[in-house]
Structure 1
Amino acid sequence: MRPNLVTRTLVSLTTVVGIAAGTLAGASTSFAASESAQQPQVVAAAPAAQLATVNLGLSTNQAKGVQRWLARFWGYTGEIDGQLGTNSWKAFQRHLKAHAGYTGEIDGIVGSGTLKALQRHLKASWGYTGEIDADPGPGTRAAFARFANWCVTSF
C-alpha cells in the first residue's frame, strides 16, 4: 500500500516550518539590530491543508476538466488551475457524499474514506474493477483518468 500523499505533504511542510522556526529563534541579537533586519519583511503563509495537491496521476488539463465539472455541479469556486487541492476535494467529497457512500467530513483531505468513495464512484461508471481498498493504484488512476477525460470533453 502506498503512503498517503497528503500525510507525506503535511509532514514535509511541518518539517520545513520547524526548521524555519528554529533558524529564526537562533538568530543573534546583533543580526536583529542590523540595518537589513530593520527593513519590513513580508511573509505569506497559507494553511497547510490548502497547500496539498492530490491529482492522482491526472495531467493539468485533466484536472482542469474535473474542476470545471466540480464548479458546475458541486460548489467548487476556486481557480481552474489544474491542481486538485483542498477546495477541489471538498467539492468532490460533496459529490461522493451524495452518490458514493462517503460518510466523512467535507474537509478536502484525501484520506481512506475519500479514496474508497472515489473507488466506488469509479467502479459504478468508469471501469474500475479493483478492490475498494483506498489504494490509489494503477486501476484507480486509470479509471480516474477516464472520468477526467470525460470532464475535459464535456465541460
Structure 2
Amino acid sequence: MRPTIATRTLVSVTAAVAIAAGGVAGAGAAFAADAPAAKTTVSSEAVTPLAVNNLGLSTTQAKKLQGGLRGYGYNGSIDGKLGTESWKAMQRFLEKHWDYNDRIDGVVGPNTIKALQRNLKKHWKYRGEIDGIAGPGTKAAFKRMADSY
C-alpha cells in the first residue's frame, strides 16, 4: 500500500507546523533568557514592622528594657530582641504616659517614635525634634533609657 498524495501532504504540513512551533518556543525561551531579571529590593525600613527593631540597643540593653516592660503586658521571653510583642508593650507604656494615640500593633512607626521622643526629651536628655524619626539622637537617648532599668 502506497501512501497517497493527500497523506504525504498532511504529514509534511504537520511536520512543518511542529518545526515552526518548536522554533517559536525556542525563540521565546531565547528572548526570556536575554531579558534582565526584575530586581525587587526591600529596604530594612520596610521590613522593620515584622522584624526585630532594637533601635540601636545592644542585646543587654534590650533585655533590660524588656524586663521593664513586664508591667505593660510584655510576657515574652527576655531575649534582647525587641520584636512585635515588646513594641506592643512599649506602645501601651507610651499610651499611658506619653500621648501615644495610635493602634497597639507593635509597629515601630512615626507615631510610636514621636511618643517615645516625648518621653526621651523629658527624662533622657533627648534634644532633637519630636519628628517621628529614630535618628542618632533618639537612639542615644533610648540607650540611656534602657540602661536605667
TM-score normalised by structure 1 residue count:
0.66
Aligned to 2:88: 90
In 1: Cα distance, 2:115 partner to 2:68 partner: 18
Once the two structures are superposed, residues 74-106 of structure 1 have per-residue CA deviations (whole angstroms, 9 ceiling, x without a partner) of 110001000000000000000000111100000
State which of 43, 46, 56 in structure 2 corresponds to 1:8: 46
- Aligned-pair CA distance for 1:8: 2.0
Aligned to 1:56: 55
Once the two structures are superposed, residues 11-61 of structure 1 have per-residue CA deviations (whole angstroms, 9 ceiling, x without a partner) of xxxxxxxxxxxxxxxxxxxxxxxxxxxxxxxxxxxxxx6x41110000000
In 1: Cα distance, 2:100 partner to 2:122 partner: 14
State which of 102, 111, 133 in structure 2 corresponds to 1:135: 133
The one-letter amino acid paired with 2:51 is: A
TM-score normalised by structure 2 residue count:
0.68
Describe how 1:18-33 pairs up with structure 2 within 5 A.
Answer: none
- Aligned-pair CA distance for 1:131: 0.1
Aligned to 2:64: 65
SS in 1 for 2:54: coil
% same residue: 55
Which one has a bigger Cα radius of gyration?
2
Gaps of 5+ in 1: 11-48
- Aligned-pair CA distance for 1:9: 1.1
State which of 128, 141, 144 in structure 1 corresponds to 2:142: 144
Gaps of 5+ in 2: 1-42
Count matched residues.
107
In 2: Cα distance, 1:145 partner to 1:120 partner: 15
Which of structures 1 and 2 has the larger relative contact order (alpha carbons within 8 angstroms, sep 6+)? 1
In 2: Cα distance, 1:87 partner to 1:149 partner: 20
1:114 aligns with 2:109: no
In 2: Cα distance, 1:58 partner to 1:146 partner: 10
